């Protein structure tokens, strides 16, 4: 047999932020780049570590993050990110240097692609003389909203006062003040400081964004004007990398069997993502709203959905008897499979960006109930710009919930939304197919990395 020349496989280093909504798209990015001929070194915090067995082709580099238990409090994301940026720099430099010493010259590391939250990576790249790029797991519209915070504060618009919450924001004409991601995560000042760090591109040479051109064409252009860097909108990544599993929690797949027994498009799927938390009273209102809607429902109630409460105590007394077989409750669902299931006709969501892209890609219309950060911007776009969702613009109350579910799943209004959702789904498909803009952008990204 003829001796084959070993193929060159340059390595890219990928460093995700330590949250489900950041790890998933970055694992997908790794899968896509691997399919394009790159080796992938996935450097992640020990906190919320992904399962390496799902990606046997990657090299995993765990970064000891030295987090104390009290630093992993739910809801204190800004503090957590700040600590990680201090604690992970040395471990990344050391771990990566060791790996680089072992790699053949032709397979050397060509760049670090780091999550916008993990901005310490830029100085590691500089020390190791590597190029680096920033990955943004959220939309360009949300990025613009964050970038406006200090201007709006300096002009005295935020924090907004009284009735101003419903006014449109100067410079961001599609958003109301209540859509601006501000003080729900720490103080306004904390959010601004974090934004300054996230938005400072330092010596990075490009921005990769999990977004789709036709969803926010003008916002993408505005974003590119602000940052004179290469910009690659290559979403939705979960479609480009359909086979990779990225869940940090074990999904309960029995709910797919339950869905098999439901009528087409009859089920409302309910999830508030991986981070948002509820009051026990809010959860009870959700339960009774679902019960009185009379629609079948699949409801994700995470074990940490209500802090300091036992999961078994969360479901109100008498609720399971009332709904019987009409309801299915799980602690974590195989969400992408759920949204693609024929029985699912609506998604009541917190509007995290991944959930937004997954729902749009599956053509599933939404009930938008944003909790914090970019979710409010996404909710506004879903309900008022793309018009594929209904805004649940109230404090959780069973009567309002029942009415929203009926409007989406039963009324004529829902039918029109469903038609638009299906139209958007087709556009997403086109975008990742040959000739589509995300497809082209991904190929440009590959050429750009190979040029280092
Ligand atoms: C957060 C922010 O809300 C989001 O807007 C930001 O861009 C990333 O960080 P998160 O709250 O986790 O993310 O929401 P989302 O972005 O929607 O990501 C959740 C992921 O978990 C999705 O990919 C979803 O498919 C998955 N998921 C959720 C499951 O697999 N099973 C579940 O039961 C619930």
Confidence category of residue 5, pLDDT binned at 50, 70, 90: low
Q: If you measure from the C-alpha of residue 247 to the centroid of ligand 1, how many angstroms do you get, rounded to a whole number?
A: 10
Q: Tell me the chain's radius of gyration from C-alpha atoms.
A: 22
Instruction: Encode pLDDT of 193-231 as tens digits.
Output: 888 999 899 999 999 999 999 999 999 999 999 998 999
183 has pLDDT over 70: no
Quick one: pLDDT band at residue 57, thresholds 50, 70, 90? very high
Residue 356's contacts (CB-CB under 8 Å, 6 or more residues apart) are 349, 366, 378, 382
pLDDT digits (tens, 9 = 90+) for 169-181: 999 999 999 999 8
pTM above 0.80, yes or no: yes
Spacing, Cα 157 to ligand 1 middle (Å) = 30
Looking at residue 185, what is its pLDDT? Answer: 63
Residue nearest to atom 2 of ligand 1 (CA): 352
Please enumerate, as own/partner, the contacts of 415-419 that have beta carbons within 8 Å and a separation of 24 or more: 417/365, 417/387, 417/388, 417/389, 417/390, 418/265, 418/345, 418/363, 418/365
- Centre of ligand 1 to C-alpha 164, Å, is 30
Beta carbon of 361 within 6 Å of any ligand 1 atom: no
Q: How many C-beta neighbours within 10 Å does residue 392 have?
A: 24
Res. 26: pLDDT tops 90 = yes
Spacing, Cα 211 to ligand 1 middle (Å): 15
For residue 422, say if its preceding peptide bond is cis, omega within 30 degrees of 0: no
Secondary structure class of 205 (helix, strand, coil): coil
User: What's the rounded mean pLDDT across residues 125-135?
Assistant: 98
Q: Where does residue 388 fall: left (phi above 0), alpha (psi -120 to 50 degrees), or beta otherwise?
A: alpha
Average pLDDT, the chain: 94
Most ligand 1 atoms within 8 A of CB, residue of 16, 18, 19, 20 to mutate: 20
Q: How confident is the model at residue 79 (pLDDT cuts 50, 70, 90)?
A: confident
Token duo for residue 28: 């997908």
Q: What does the alpha-carbon distance between residue 58 and residue 187 come to, in Å, rounded to a whole number? A: 38
Which atom belonging to ligand 1 lies closest to the Cα atom of 375? Answer: 5
382-430 tens-digit pLDDT: 999 999 999 998 789 999 999 999 999 999 999 999 999 999 999 999 9
Tokens encoding 299: 């409801």
Q: Are strands 172-176 and 168-169 parallel, antiparallel or unpaired?
A: antiparallel
Give the pLDDT score at 1: 43
In this predicted structure, the answer to whether residue 316 has a pLDDT above a threshold of 50 is yes
- Substitution candidate for ligand 1 out of 273, 378, 379 with most atoms within 8 A of CB: 273
Q: Which helix (H) or strand (E) holds 415?
A: helix 412-432
- What pLDDT band is residue 184 in, cutting at 50, 70 and 90? low
| pLDDT value of residue 241 | 92
Q: What is the ipTM of this complex?
A: 0.98
């Amino acid at each position: 047999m003829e001796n084959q020349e070993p193929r060159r496989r340059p390595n890219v280093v990928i460093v995700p932020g330590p949250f489900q909504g950041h790890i998933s798209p970055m694992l997908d990015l790794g899968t896509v780049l691997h399919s394009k001929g790159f080796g992938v070194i996935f450097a992640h915090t020990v906190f919320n570590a992904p399962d390496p067995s799902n990606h046997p082709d990657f090299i995993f580099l765990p970064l000891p993050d030295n987090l104390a238990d009290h630093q992993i409090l739910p809801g204190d994301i800004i503090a957590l990110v700040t600590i990680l940026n201090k604690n992970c720099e040395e471990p990344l430099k050391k771990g990566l240097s060791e790996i680089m010493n072992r790699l053949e010259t032709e397979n050397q590391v060509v760049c670090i692609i780091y999550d916008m939250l993990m901005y310490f990576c830029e100085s590691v790249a500089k020390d190791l003389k590597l190029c680096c790029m920033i990955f943004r797991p959220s939309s360009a519209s949300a990025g613009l909203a964050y970038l406006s915070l200090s201007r709006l504060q300096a002009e005295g618009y935020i924090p907004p006062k009284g009735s101003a919450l419903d006014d449109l924001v100067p410079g961001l004409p599609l958003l109301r003040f209540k859509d601006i991601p501000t003080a729900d995560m720490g103080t306004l000042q904390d959010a601004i400081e974090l934004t300054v760090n996230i938005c400072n591109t330092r010596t990075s040479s490009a921005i990769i964004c999990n977004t789709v051109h036709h969803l926010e064409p003008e916002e993408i252009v505005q974003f590119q004007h602000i940052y004179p860097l290469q910009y690659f909108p290559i979403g939705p990544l979960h479609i480009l990398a359909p086979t990779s599993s990225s869940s940090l929690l074990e999904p309960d797949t029995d709910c797919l069997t339950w869905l098999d027994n439901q009528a087409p498009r009859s089920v409302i799927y309910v999830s508030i993502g991986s981070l948002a938390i509820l009051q026990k009273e809010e959860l009870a209102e959700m339960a009774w709203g679902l019960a009185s809607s009379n629609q079948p429902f699949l409801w994700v109630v995470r074990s940490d959905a209500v802090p300091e409460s036992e999961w078994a105590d969360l479901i109100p007394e008498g609720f399971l008897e009332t709904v019987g077989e009409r309801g299915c409750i799980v602690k974590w669902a195989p969400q992408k499979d759920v949204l693609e299931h024929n029985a699912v006709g609506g998604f009541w969501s917190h509007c995290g960006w991944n959930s937004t892209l997954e729902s749009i890609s599956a053509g599933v219309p939404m009930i938008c109930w944003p909790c914090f950060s970019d979710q409010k911007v996404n909710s506004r776009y879903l309900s008022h710009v793309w018009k594929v969702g209904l805004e649940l613009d109230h404090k959780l109350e069973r009567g309002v919930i029942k009415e929203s579910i009926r409007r989406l799943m039963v009324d004529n209004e829902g039918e029109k939304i469903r038609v638009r959702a299906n139209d958007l789904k087709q556009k997403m498909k086109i975008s990742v197919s040959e000739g589509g803009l995300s497809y082209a952008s991904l190929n440009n990204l590959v050429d750009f990395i190979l040029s280092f």
